[in-house]
Amino acid sequence: MVAEIKIKNIQDPHLGLQILFEFQDRNGFDIYDYIFEREIDGGLNSLLYLIVEDKHVMSFVEILLENSIIVYHKKDFTKELIDIIINNELKHFKKGLCADYDFNRLIDKFYQDKIGIDQVLDKILKVGINCLSETDKVILEKIN
């Protein structure tokens, strides 16, 4: 699942670290490795994108609320991210993200988990064969 969570920006870096450590204590892994962020509304709010199972998304939201972080919404962003990939719009989507996240590694993981032959063929139909990434080509090789 890819979850999009809109939150009030965390101004205190210590609180941000506290939330990350709390998540790791409860779930056994560092959520920072599975998240990327886009600041919106002039930096007042953030959109967080988490590529984890739903139970971990819910745990993260619970920790945010316990720490008095305002959560405006949580939604499943999986279909939208697949559409972004199929329409070859990843570069545009990536432009607004905070730079300290490993976007390419997360997208590769998402590809491995969610993108199949049908999605790659849809991408070819929509934007042409020249748009294929190396990962797309590996997926297509599975046809043989």
Q: How far is CA 107 from the centre of its chain?
A: 8
| Confidence bin at 100 (pLDDT 50/70/90) | low
Phi/psi zone of residue 24: left (φ > 0), alpha (ψ -120 to 50 degrees), beta? alpha
Q: What is the pTM of this model?
A: 0.80
**What structural domains does the chain harbor?**
1-76 (3.30.70.260), 78-144 (no CATH)
The per-residue pLDDT for range 76-92, each reduced to its tens digit, is 998 999 888 888 888 88
Among the listed residues 103, 56, 55, 110, the one whose alpha carbon sits nearest the alpha carbon of residue 78: 110
Mean of pLDDT values over 6-16: 89
The per-residue pLDDT for range 33-75, each reduced to its tens digit, is 888 888 899 889 999 999 999 999 999 999 999 998 888 989 9
pLDDT at 144 over 70: no
12 three-class SS: coil
